[in-house]
Structure 1
Amino acid sequence: MLNKRHEIARGIANELLPAEQDVDAAILHNARLTILVIEGRKASRVPLATGQEGLDFIAKANSRLVEARGLIAQAHAAFRQTQSEVGLDAFSYGDVAECPPPSATGLSLVSSQRVA
C-alpha cells in the first residue's frame, strides 16, 4: 500500500511542479506583453486611449494569473500536509526548497472588488 501511495504522490508532483513553473512563465510573458503594448503605443505616437481595451484585458489576466499562482502555492502546501498524513514524510518529490507549512505561506485571497 505504501508503494501505491508513493507512486500516486510522485505522479501528483510530476504535474504540480511544472504547473508552478508554467504559471510563473505565463506571468512573465504577460508582463512582457504589457511592456510591448505600452512601448508600441508610444513608439507609434498614437493617442493614449489607443489599445486601452486590450491593455485592460491584459491587466485583468495578469491579476488572475497572480491569483492562480497563489492558489497553486496553497495547493502545494496542502498536498505536503496530505503527504505527511498518508505516511510519506520520508520521501521527497522534487521540491527545490523545503515547503513551508500552510500557515506560513503568507498567502491569502483578496476581494477583487474595486474601491471607488
Structure 2
Amino acid sequence: MLQNLDSMTARLEREVPNAEMRVDDALIAVSSLFTSVVTARRETGVPTKTGQGTILRLAKAQMSLVEVSGDILRAHGELADIGKETAGYDLRECPAAAGLRGDHLSAVA
C-alpha cells in the first residue's frame, strides 16, 4: 500500500503543476488571439461594431480560463491537505510546482 501511495503521490506531483501550466498556456494563447483580433479591427479601419461578437466571446473565454485556473489552484491546495492528512507529508510548499513555474515564466518573458 505504501509503495502504491508513493507512486500515486509522484504522479500527482507531476500532473498538478502540468495542468496549471497548460491552463496558463491556454490563457496566453487566447489573450494573444484577443489582441490580434482587436489590432486587426483597428488597423483595417473597419467599423468598431465589426467583430464585436467575436471579441465578446474571446473575453468570456479568457474569464473562463481564469476561473479554471483558480479551481485547479484550489484543487492543488486540497490535494496538499489530503497528503498531509493521509500520508503525514509536511508540504509547506510544492517544490515541483515552484520549479516548473519559474522555468515556464522565464521562457515566456
TM range (shorter): 0.7 to 0.9
Runs of 4 or more above 3 Å deviation: 90-93
- Name the aligned partner's letter for residue 66 of structure 1: V
Alignment of 1:50-65 (within 5 A): 50-65=50-65
TM-score, length-scaled by structure 2? 0.81
Aligned residues: 97
Structure 2 portions without partners, runs of 5+: 100-109
**1:93 Cα shift?**
6.7
Q: Give the secondary-structure state (helix, strand or coil) at the position aligned to 2:87.
A: coil
Structure 1 portions without partners, runs of 5+: 98-116
In the other structure, the counterpart of 2:20 is 20
In the other structure, the counterpart of 2:83 is 83
Q: Answer yes or no: is 1:49 the counterpart of 2:58.
A: no
Q: Answer yes or no: is 1:95 the counterpart of 2:97.
A: yes
In the other structure, the counterpart of 1:104 is none
Instruction: Point out the structure with the larger helix share.
Output: 2
TM-score, length-scaled by structure 1? 0.76
Deviations 1:36-73 (A, max 9, x none): 11110011000001111111110111000000000000
Separation in 2 of the partners of 1:90 and 1:81? 10
In the other structure, the counterpart of 1:100 is none
Indicate the percent of aligned positions where both proteins have the same amino acid: 28
Q: Cα RMSD between the aligned structures?
A: 1.8
